[in-house]
Amino acid sequence: MWQKEDKLIRDLLLNSFGAFFLSMLTSSLGTLVDGLVIGNVMDTQCVAAFGLVNPLNFIFAITGSILGSGMSNGCARALGRNDREQACRLFSVTRIVGIGLSIAVMILIVAFIDPITTLLGAESGTEMFVNAKEYLLFYVLGLPAITATKLLSSIMPLDSDRRRIVTATAVMTAVNIAGDLFCVSVLHAGLAEIALVTTISYYAGTLVLMHHFIKKDIIFRFSVRGLDWRGLFDITRKGLPKGVSRVTSSIRGIFINRTAAAIAAVAVAGFSVQSNINYMTNAVVMGLAQSFMLVTSLYYGEENKEALKRVTRTACRLELMFVGLLSLALLALAPFVAKLYLGSNADALPAGTLSVRWYAAGLLFQGFCILFADYLQVTGRVFWANMVYVAEDVVLTAAAVSILAERFSTGGLYAGISLAHVLTVCLIPVFIMAVNRRKISSSDDLLMLEEGFGIAPENEYAQTVTDLEGAVAASEEIIVFCEGRGVDHKTASRLGLAAEEMVTNIIQHGFKDGKPHSIDLRALYKEADGVTLIIRDNCRPFDPKERFRYLTDDDPTANIGLRLTMNLAKEVTYTSAMRLNNVTIKV
């Protein structure tokens, strides 16, 4: 049962999760579709060659992952401070650098494609080498589009345009499936043509996403004026864990492939099934983690300690729900999933089934590791976020896989991968206690926040309102809160009345659609700044400043709450982000 105060955060996480799920999916959708086609119509050598290239998909997305993660984090913080201009500057500089870097990496990979193919585990001169090289060459041509889709889809949840991501994903999927089927059924083509179709699908998706920026009512506008190059450094630093995650995942995949190749070709093919379903499950796991990171950044930017605890608690529940059910489904459907990717390769089906089952066993643990690393990233512990991925993907995976594969062959190889995730989760409480230098005794300890973070509890009022009775009660409590901090009775009463009128207005006009809604009220007192009132709701967009501009004096009693608020406040700021109305009132 969800607590009342968790409902808005839950809806916020779920709404942005849908967008980030598709965002993660778009960066690997081509490989996911290709894996299905190749596994069902081509021989084991082609499946193995495709499996060798698979780990590089993490490298292909590294630029978009670093900059997209850092950009969404930085922009969410800026919007949490109601600094819309800074958010636009960060968005613009990230786009310029991201596309430029992806073009440079594309050129480098094409120039050194032979040694890269050898590094992946294919022996020069063999059929597997030729197949892997052909797929890699034509796939890498889509790198600028892969980066663009990642950057654009990372920012659109903040700009309240999830439907655009859905449309882009649908277009990419349709182009890719239709093109792949045409290549194999009509042209009887090989891996090169399939990779080229995938590249074309990414550019088609990019065009769909770009259409968002012709709209008028958006937050993010691209401009080459006033670019924040210092902000770019901060974006890169904060987004670095996502890049490190991509690198360590690639190293992990290459190591496992090479270990599997030393056992048998079917071991490589079996791991390729795990790699392929990882693109789908990773979209769930990483989509939830990205949503968690974005919402956490929003509340971390306004130093809302209580909300951080609620976000963390809610995200962990959703992790158990979504990823737990996904793990159980994979365990039950392992033979079907293996056949889906290895339908024309019966000799590899037992290894594929075993691979899926071991993968499912470690998936939930992997999800919690990613949530933890993302929280470290948001709170500024970038180095330790990087170390989570290094420890999990490189150190522990290498140790567990090497030991178990030598003793139990293919089964030990797959078991070692999951064991690394379990061991990493076991180390998380140890890390928290080391940072805090004490045992974990409360939920506050889990947050690992610095001393003095946020507003002192006695100077903060927080309440969630879902009905008119709650609005009246909150108004009275705000008056008491203000007077208790030395605010004069007249100002405190007017602020309480303004809060009641505005919340009542939201309930009367925003709750009419029949959907569940809630309003979060937060009053903060600082001796230097006075009282700041924050009103956050998940109703349809409503800008009080814009509405106030069009009020007339014909009926002074109309919109009295809005009139009181605007006349009382020193400053009123409004931002619509992540389908939330965010109003900040300073008096």
- In this structure, are 504 and 425 located in the same domain? no
Q: Give the pLDDT score at 2.
A: 44
Q: Which amino acid is at 43?
A: D
The residue from 406, 436, 466 where one domain ends is 436
Domain count, the chain: 2
C-alpha–C-alpha distance, residues 299 and 490, integer Å: 31
Q: Give the pLDDT score at 391.
A: 92
- In this structure, are 51 and 83 located in the same domain? yes
**Residue range of the domain that includes 285:** 4-436
Q: Give the pLDDT score at 191.
A: 80
In a domain, 57, yes or no: yes
- In this structure, are 269 and 194 located in the same domain? yes
In a domain, 452, yes or no: no
Question: Rounded to the nearest 10 degrees, what angle do helices 349-378 and 229-263 cross at?
Answer: 160
Among candidate residues 254, 339, 275, 256, the one with its CA nearest the CA of residue 31: 275
- In this structure, are 345 and 302 located in the same domain? yes
> What dihedral angle (degrees, nearest 10) is formed by the CA atoms of 302, 308, 310, 315?
120
Both ends of the chain: CA-CA distance in Å? 37
The residue from 382, 403, 436 where one domain ends is 436
pTM for this predicted structure = 0.69
Q: Give the pLDDT score at 203.
A: 92
In a domain, 131, yes or no: yes
The residue from 401, 436, 471 where one domain ends is 436
Q: Give the pLDDT score at 5.
A: 54
In a domain, 446, yes or no: no
In a domain, 356, yes or no: yes
Q: Give the pLDDT score at 560.
A: 63
* Residue whose structure tokens are 């190889």: 413
Instruction: Count how many Cα atoms sit within 13 Å of the Cα of residue 401 in the half-sphere of its side chain.
Output: 27
- In this structure, are 268 and 157 located in the same domain? yes
Query: Is the separation of the CB atoms in 271 and 252 below 8 Å?
Result: no
Among candidate residues 586, 582, 544, the one with its CA nearest the CA of residue 84: 582
- In this structure, are 422 and 477 located in the same domain? no
- In this structure, are 339 and 201 located in the same domain? yes
CATH number (domain holding residue 484)? 3.30.565.10
Among candidate residues 366, 290, 363, the one with its CA nearest the CA of residue 72: 290
- In this structure, are 463 and 354 located in the same domain? no
Q: Give the pLDDT score at 324.
A: 93
Residue 498: in which H helix or E strand, if any?
Answer: helix 489-510
CA-to-CA separations, 279 to 28, 32, 191, 231, 514, in angstroms, rounded: 6, 6, 19, 31, 36
SS3 for 12-34, per residue?
Answer: HHHHHHHHHHHHHHHCCHHHHHH
In a domain, 450, yes or no: no
Q: Which residues contact 189 (CB under 8 A, 6 or more apart)?
A: 183
- In this structure, are 239 and 191 located in the same domain? yes
Q: CA Rg, the chain, in Å?
A: 26
- In this structure, are 243 and 315 located in the same domain? yes
Q: Is 419 exposed, middle or buried (0-12, 13-18, 19+ CB in 10 A)?
A: buried
In a domain, 91, yes or no: yes
- In this structure, are 379 and 518 located in the same domain? no
- In this structure, are 42 and 158 located in the same domain? yes
Its sign, for the CA torsion 491, 494, 496, 498, is: negative
In a domain, 444, yes or no: no
| Regions of the chain where pLDDT drops below 50 | 1-2
